[in-house]
Structure 1
Amino acid sequence: MDRWVALCRFVCLLTGVTATALTTSLFWAAAVQRKIQSEGQNHRKDAHNESLSIPRIKSLAALAVTAAASSDLYDTDALPNPEVITRLNAMFALPLDRLKVIVKQIISDMKTGLERDGGAIKMLPTFVTKRPSGRERGSYLAIDFGGTNLRVCELVLNGHAGEPQLLQSKFQISENVKTGSGSALFDFIAECVRSFFQTHHALDAHDWNSKRWQLGFTFSFPVDQISIKAEIENFDEKESANLSTDTSFIQGTLITWTKGFTATNVIDRDSIRLLEDAFERMNLNIEVTALVNDTTGTLISHAYQNPDTYAGVILGTGSNCAYVEKFSNITKFRGPPPPLGTTEMLINMEWGGFDDAQVVIPRTKYDLLLDRNTPTPGSYTFEQLISGMYIGEIVRLVVLDLARTGDLFAKATIVVRSPLHKQYGFETSYMSRIERDHSFDLADVKALLEGDEFEIVGTTLADRKIIKAVCEMIGLRSARLAAAGVCAVVTKMNKLNGCTIGIDGSLFEKYPHYPNRMRDAMREILGISSENILLEQAKDGSGQGAGLIAALAAEAAVGIQ
């Protein structure tokens, strides 16, 4: 048995299925031992003598993954207040049977969203009907807007002559900008573009504003789009009039704000028009030639590097997915006809709105409380369970509740000014830091809780273990829900035989074990077919993707195929 304990500790640490590997390894060992016993004495003897081959390690890893996904994720005897951990784990766990129900419902909602408007998953046509060929040339601007930061980029494409070059500047979006007037928000964007030019083109200040720049605008919110942009000008006026009271000039109207934005006088208005008006006020010679979602940009950017990319996913401040759909399946399509011979179009799913009716995914009281305190309760609740903007807040609500009941910080003092008392005061980056601490006494967790970040005086090791367990539960649930979404998309595309998913965002890039947790869940859901699906990081994909789509739009405008 000691041999199996040591081996299972190694497997848990190798796979990263849980940050509590040392406390849960006995659970895995017992499970493996029971499995061997059930197969008979001879098999047990063979297994005892078996060398530690790669297939054997993979088998043990798969068993660990399956057990980790169950309600027995934690060896509660090794943790303080075991009944608290057991209760919380039952609330946040997503076993395989529930994941399969979620996948099935996402696929059903995708089909409904392609047929008509008003579905739970909006399934918005992007009007992007081709992917980059690698021959694109020229300099294009891109704005990536829709999260914590705004990025202004210049993408220089050299065709097959060399790798694309990307210049960029990043600007933080303040709460005043998010919640002020729409005109102030778009003026802020235009000012950031001016600042970008002053930084990167200081020596040619006269030249940069003498040319007409083409810009791709990544606007990461639900938009009812009629075209990428320019081709609508040739759309029949009579047909256009049926689409909008604003004749033929609407390109994309904001449906609703998400991610804490509430800027006024933007919903139901054309985002491109608002941005170009701001450019005019700043005397910037820029034409917006493409309006795209960050998921669309991520897909296009990664497809430029890997042509086998069929979906782009954002797992950061928000969460969403775009993928390649057969054009014939988009029966609700309206607007100017796509180019002759079009067979596919990228779809912006807006999967954050999935299960807003709360029928499929179990919600905890903490999830419901978080939703009630958002600017738009009942909207984009799937995103709330996944994205970096919200999962730290869920941890905060759990921690406060446990402190209130005396299950946490019974011997500690929380100062009044602690961010723990402030909405969104527990950032998701703190979850990452906590999960990275594998020290015996959780020294870094102690430094975080008792330092300037939270000012909680006198935490115990038991307190720190509970908080780490809570972070693991909520982080694991996020990854498993994201994996369910990816499995649904791949199944809908009929790409189980193989494809690549480009993923951008801080959760996938920086959160400990997040990619592995997604892959583990996909292995549970899809079985061996999951090995054909590659999850690849598409860092900064949304900015480069917007520039590439602007290049594609420019090609289309001059008839380049």
Structure 2
Amino acid sequence: MSSVLSMTPTELHTFLYGVGLGVAVAAVSSTLLFSLPRAVVSSQSQAPKKSPRKRSALKRGASAAANAVEVAEEANAETVARLRGMFSLPADRLQQIVKQILVDMKKGLEKDGAANIKMLPTHVTRRPSGKEKGTYLALDLGGTNFRVCEIILDGAGGSTMHQSKFVIDEAAKTGDGTALFDFIADCVKAFLGEYHKDQDVEAVKWKLGFTFSFPVDQWTINSGSLLIWTKGFTATNVVGKDVVALLKSAFERKNLNIDVTALVNDTTGTLMSLAYSKPDTYVGVILGTGSNCAYVEKIENVIKYKGPREGVKEMLINMEWGGFDDDMVVIPRNKYDLKLDRESANPGSYTFEQLISGMYLGEIVRLVLVDLVKTGELFSYSAGGSPELRTKYAFETAYMSRIERDYSYQLMETKTILEEHLNIPETTLADRKLVKAICEMVGLRSARLAAAGVAAVVTKINKLGAPGVTVGIDGSLFLLYPHYQNRMRDALREIVGISAENILLEKSQDGSGTGAALIACLAGK
């Protein structure tokens, strides 16, 4: 009797439902009940009869449990409805966002500093033909990991690659800039030593494309100064300096003979990588740790470009769309978004990226959870005592992905994440449903904002009509997050209607490697 009365509301509800159907209960424990259908139970294994007093107690318990479940569901329904209002982006709002992006794109192409979208010329003035050949090095700096790659272009739209990944620790991200670039050079030297053991790596002349996924004022194809750090990087003595010169100096200190022929943003590389095999690719997007977009613009529209124009028809533009709406005019922000921005490394900067990218989505969810714990709407037990829940960025975006993929009846994967990774004791099914709903809201908003950005760019280059355009997309959100691609496609249909069928969203994996190699190849000709 005591074990029955100590059940959670959900377990008791399940137990009584089975009794009502005449189902025998087997294997009762404090945490797990399961029942067998009537046809399986023999006449000799009937459940013992309950006395009238016990039946009355069970009925009272059943009524209380059912009422508790209903109250919890009603309370959660109110909470979910309130939160949906805070995170929703209806079609008309998305269309307003598209219009404002187009206004800012035009301003940004005309004059530096005229808009929050920087619209930076990349000095890449042609896309690949698919016939490029050669062996090139590529570096990829801009996220959680740093990569060193060797890419062999086969001249037929294909390539092969060797690569090594290195974890960038917080000291390198936030310490002195010289130490950061020395770390990069050390990684390159280790990579060459591993893959070219039979060569004197210090004697060989290497050509390299440097994917540097931060806002850069690019002067030439292989020079440019850092405008601002993003994505948690704050290394000193780098902002305002030529990052290629800093890299070359580090190579010299490590006795490496490397010619940095191209400075590349990962979005530019993403576009170029897919264009190597699909010539109708005009847009590249990153949806991962960070978010950004590059596209092909007619040179006559790049009014602020001061370089040579003779024989140039087009130029790839690095939008740096993460800075869109930093003045917070068109995109609704809720209190969690504002708190995230206030406590970020660069408050008031790249707030569009904060709403989209994988670096921040989990933190937005955490801020919501902490608030709901304070108001008593979530985790009736001592979740407030969980140091993990109170730790910034402890709720990883990867947890969101796992939770959204959890379709089990009891949401057991969600339970594991909350109780084992975040040390939140004794979550209820209602708790877990609410957490999943929050993850869905935050993930959905990210995809819809990304779709608005894509819709604006495709509209800008007049590619909404047939035969359409290919948009190359790289990054863990697009590649791995459940439902993300379909959510983007749904939003595109809401924004541009039937013209969405002319926008092909396609995976462009490893743009920062192959794309950088292609740009290094084209720059060397």
Residue 133 of structure 1: CA displacement? 1.3
For residue 80 of structure 1, report the CA deviation from its aligned partner: 5.0
Aligned to 2:181: 186
- Larger Rg computed on CA atoms: 2
> Given that residues 413 and 458 in structure 1 are in contact (C-alpha distance below 8 angstroms), is that contact kept between their aligned partners in structure 2?
no
Once residues 392 and 416 of structure 2 are traced to their aligned partners in structure 1, the CA distance between those partners, rounded to angstroms, is 22
CA deviations 1:10-47 (Å, max 9, x no partner) are: xxxxxxxxxxxxxxxxxxxxxxxxxxxxxxxxxxxxxx
Counterparts of residues 361-440 of structure 1 (less than 5 Å): 361-413=331-383, 415-417=385-387, 419-440=388-409
Cα distance in 1 between the residues matched to 2:356 and 2:167: 22
- Give runs of aligned pairs for residues 165-184 of structure 1, distance below 5 A: 165-184=160-179
Q: Indicate yes or no: 2:480 matched with 1:510.
A: yes
Secondary structure in structure 2 of the residue aligned to 1:518: helix
Aligned-partner residue type, residue 444 of structure 1? E
The 5 A counterparts of 1:90-239 are 90-118=85-113, 119-160=115-156, 163-202=158-197, 204-206=198-200, 208-229=201-222
Q: Secondary structure in 2 aligned to 1:389? A: helix
User: In structure 1, the residue corresponding to 2:163 is in which secondary structure?
Assistant: strand
The match for 1:56 is none
- After superposition, give the CA deviation of every residue in 1:127-176 in whole Å (9 maximum; x if it has no partner): 0001111221211100011111111111112223x831111111111111
- Give the Cα–Cα distance (whole angstroms) in 2 for the partners of residues 370 and 540 of structure 1: 30
Matched, 1:553 2:523: yes
Give, in angstroms, the shift of residue 212 of structure 1.
Answer: 0.9
The alpha-carbon deviation at position 471 of structure 1 amounts to: 0.3
Give the match for residue 312 of structure 2. 342
In the alignment, which of 59, 68, 84 is matched to residue 79 of structure 2?
84
Deviations 1:436-480 (A, max 9, x none): 0011110111111111x1111110011101100000000000000
- The residue number in structure 2 matching 1:445 is 414
**Equivalents in 2 of 1:108, 1:413: separation in Å?**
46
Alignment-derived partner of residue 262 in structure 1:
234
Distance 2:246 2:174 in 1: 16
> What is the SS of the residue equivalent to 1:288?
strand
Once the 2 structures are TM-superposed, how far is the Cα of residue 299 of structure 1 from its aligned partner? 0.3
Give the Å deviation of 1:82. 1.4
Task: Return the alpha-carbon distance in structure 1 between the equivalents of residues 304 and 255 of structure 2.
Answer: 39
What do the CA deviations read for 1:32-90 (whole angstroms, capped 9, x no partner)?
xxxxxxxxxxxxxxxxxxxxxxxxxxxxxxxxxxxxxxxxxxxx996752111111000
TM-aligned CA deviation for residue 414 of structure 1:
5.2
Which of 410, 432, 441 is 1:473 aligned to?
Answer: 441
* Contact 2:182-2:250 within 8 A present in 1 as well: yes
8 Å CA contact 1:314–1:503 kept in 2: the answer is yes
How far the C-alpha of 1:488 sits from its partner, in A, is 0.1
**Does structure 1 conserve the Cα–Cα contact (< 8 Å) formed by 2:374 and 2:384?**
no
Q: Counterparts in 2 of 1:296-315, with a 5 A limit? A: 296-315=268-287
> 2:444 & 2:283 partners in 1: Cα distance?
22
| In 2, Cα distance between equivalents of 1:77 and 1:523 | 36
Cα displacement string for residues 340-397 of structure 1 (whole angstroms, at most 9, x for unaligned residues): 3111000000000000000000000000000001121000000000000001100000
May I ask how many residue pairs the two structures share in their alignment?
452
Of 265, 268, 291, 1:293 maps to 265
Amino acid at match of 1:145: L
Q: Secondary structure at the match of 2:228?
A: coil
Q: Which amino acid aligns with 2:281?
A: T
Return the alpha-carbon distance in structure 2 between the equivalents of residues 421 and 176 of structure 1: 23
Deviation at 1:334, TM superposition (A): 1.7
TM-score, normalised by the number of residues in structure 2: 0.84
CA deviation map 1:307-335 (0-9, x unaligned)? 11001000000000000000000001123
Identity %: 65
Amino acid at match of 2:125: T
Partner secondary structure for residue 440 of structure 1: coil
Matched-pair contact (CA < 8 Å) for 2:149–2:163 = yes
- Give distance in 2, aligned partners of 1:481 and 1:77: 32
Residue 456 of structure 1: SS of its match in structure 2?
coil
Q: Is residue 475 of structure 2 the alignment partner of residue 496 of structure 1?
A: no
SS in structure 2 opposite 1:209? coil
Paired AA for residue 341 in structure 1? G
Matches of 1:143 and 1:375, distance apart in 2 = 25
SS at match of 1:305: coil
Report deviation, 1:209: 2.9
- In 2, the alpha carbon distance for the partners of 1:390 and 1:479 equals 14
> SS at 2:199's partner residue?
helix
Instruction: Note if contact 1:179-1:264 (Cα within 8 Å) is conserved in structure 2.
Output: yes
Tell whether the 8 Å contact from 2:158 to 2:276 is kept in structure 1 after alignment: no
Contact 2:158 2:277 in 1 (8 A): no
Structure 1 residue aligned with 2:498: 528
Deviation, 1:281, is 0.5
- 1:487 corresponds to which letter in structure 2? A
One-letter identity of the residue aligned with 1:307? P
For residues 28-47 of structure 1, the aligned pairs below 5 Å read: none
Superposed CA deviations along residues 263-293 of structure 1, whole A, max 9, x for unmatched, are: 0000110010000000000111101000010
AA aligned to 2:101 is: I
Equivalent-residue separation in structure 2 for 1:447 and 1:425 (angstroms):
15
Alignment-mate amino acid for residue 120 of structure 2:
L
- The SS at the match of 2:276 is helix
What letter matches 2:412 in structure 1?
Answer: A
Give the equivalent residue in structure 2 for 1:355: 325
Question: In 2, Cα distance between the equivalents of 1:540 and 1:420?
Answer: 34
Letter in 2 for 1:170: K
Please give the per-residue CA displacement for 1:475-506, whole angstroms capped at 9, x wherever unaligned: 00000000000000000000002000000000
Distance 1:416 1:527, change over 3 A: closer
Contact 1:299 1:311 in 2 (8 A): yes
Aligned residues of 2:473 and 2:505 also touching (Cα < 8 A)? yes
Alignment root-mean-square deviation, CA: 1.4
Note the C-alpha offset of 1:411. Answer: 2.9
AA aligned opposite 1:138: G
**Secondary structure, counterpart of 1:341 in structure 2:** coil
Is the Cα contact below 8 Å between 1:325 and 1:347 reproduced in 2?
Answer: yes
* Alignment partners' CA distance in 1, 2:327 and 2:74: 36
* Residue aligned with 2:389, SS: helix
| Structure 1: runs of 5 or more not aligned | 1-75, 230-250, 556-561
Is the contact made by 2:205 and 2:257 (CA closer than 8 Å) also made in structure 1? Answer: yes
